Amino acid sequence: MHPILLVFVSLLGIYLLQIVVEFWRTIHNVGHLSGPRLLFDHERFLVWAIAKLLPPIPYVSRGGSWMLRTKHQDFAAAGQDATAMVTMIPWPSAVIYLADAAAIKEVATFRAKFPKPVDMYEALFAFGGNIIASEGEDWKRYRTIAAPAFSERNTRLVWDETIRIMFDLFDNVWGDSPEIVLDHCVDITLPIALFVIGVAGFGRRVTWTSDLSVPPGHQMPFKDALHIVSTNLILKMGLPNWAMKLTERTRRVNLAFDELRQYMVEMVNARRSAETREERHDLFNGLLDAADDNPDGSVAITEQELIGNMFIFLLAGHETTAHTLCFTFALLALHPDEQERLYQQIKGILVDLNGMPTYEDMNRFTLSMAVLYETLRMFPPVSAIPKRAAEDTSLTVSNADGGETTFPIPSGTRVDYQVPGLHYNPKYWKDPHTFRPERFLGEWPRNAFLPFSSGARGCLGRRFFETESVAAITMMILKYRVEVKDEPEFVGETFEQRYARITAFDQLLNTAPRRVPLVFKRR
């Protein structure tokens, strides 16, 4: 054998031996927790991208969107509500997944022991530092700046604007048409969410008939730029600049990033250059004030952080809401009895309100909120909420024998809340695979419901999201009956087949419906 080849083979052999030894050591260090054992680390972009295209292959790939696809299965197979995924290449590592409400609460409570691994959120730094992709003092600073915008006054604005936007849709877009056929429901829910975050978050009011043309100085509409960026963040962050110029799709993604940045800069300049400074209570005003000079010459956030936080709130208030509303209408179409029950409650409440519910009436629409929560339980926007152990520690979870299992967690190990595993855990939810909104009308296990995360890092815009969603669901079901679109190629399918088709999903930055063909019939 050639000496150079011999050296190469020897080094490779040593490396592989070290890998095998460290692999078994890693399994031992997490207490031999059951769970997937994979050849490749799926956190690497290229491996992750390939894995999304592959079916589940033992020891190689879990397949695309595996957490929401498998739900609680891994934990049931392990016999306890904690599992460990251990990967081998490029170097052995473990990720612990939790579906135990008490253990998750403990992790959320001890934030110093389990900080957020901000290095995993690199894609969200596309436009600058922000409240989601931060920890420690930076996070506290961003939250202090943004929190006042999510006030009672702003929440009332969200309700009023959502009602206005829905009436605008009914009166000026759908008009007198007895039925509206949509090939994909997000064609309606995306604009609804964009219009609400635009006006209540950034004072940018648009209508269904505006913003259809490209404004001077731009090459695509604002809503298109935002949608393309939000669905291609990982692609943009994972590929080098030269690769982003190779195909028509990647060039359009590049253009969308440039366009969205230009739109946000224009929004900043327009608000700053206004002759009179209006008293506003939207999120944008708080961010803008923080970026302006203080008397001592300091600023609370930099210009780049201003743009970064604008982007995050646009993203969170747009895609997540739109996809959740789409899943909601899909589930109601698939379950006409539940839809009728919801309609009857809404109609009964509105008898006294002349068809115009006010913000003060929101809490009366208990079933609208229950439908929203059941949708979030079944299709949580985010499947994993990652933390990282800052020190050697341990956790205890329940097991199938009715007892408890305690296992070690070495410093540096990732610990994720596995949200679908928790949301489909039969210990907390009876018949977890069944759409049953009424489970949220009485007492329910609040610690086992994590669509908005948990603890101090819980979603700052939760009330914004809930208010918008309840208003949109209530108005839509009041005016229209929702059905699944009949398509000849699917004649004869069973309910289970139809359910799987209509609720098919992908997990990108958030859980996104693939295609939801619906018909909205005027009542």
Q: Which residues are annotated as a binding site for heme?
A: 459
Q: Which are the contacts of 127, defined by CB distance < 8 A and separation ≥ 6?
A: 260, 261, 264, 304, 307, 308, 310, 311
The C-alpha atoms of residue 72 and residue 83 are separated, in whole angstroms, by: 11
Q: Apex CA 168: angle with CA 514 and CA 187, to 5°?
A: 10
Provide DSSP, 429-467.
Answer: SSSTTS--GGGGSS---GGG--TT--GGGS-TTHHHHHH
Return the axis-axis angle of helices 462-479 and 319-334, rounded to nearest 10°. Answer: 40
- Helices (H), ranges, 101-221: 101-109, 136-146, 152-169, 186-196, 202
H-helix or E-strand containing 40? strand 37-40
Rounded CA separation 461/282 (Å): 12
Intra-chain end-to-end CA distance of the chain, in Å:
82
Q: Which strand (E) or helix (H) includes residue 233?
A: helix 233-238
Q: What tokens does 93 get?
A: 């590592």
Q: Which residue has the tokens 């206005």?
A: 164
Q: Which residues pair with 37 in a beta bridge?
A: 86
β-strands 518-522, 480-484 pairing: antiparallel
What distance in Å separates the CA atoms of residue 522 and residue 162, rounded to the nearest whole number?
19
Among all chains, which residue has been given the structure tokens 């918008």? Answer: 468
- The binding site consists of 459
Distance CA 422, CA 327 (A): 19
- C-beta separation of 34 from 84 below 8 A: yes
Amino acid type, 389: A
Any idea which residue has 């959120």 for tokens?
121
Please identify which residue in the block is written with the tokens 């054998």.
Answer: 1
- What DSSP character marks residue 399? B
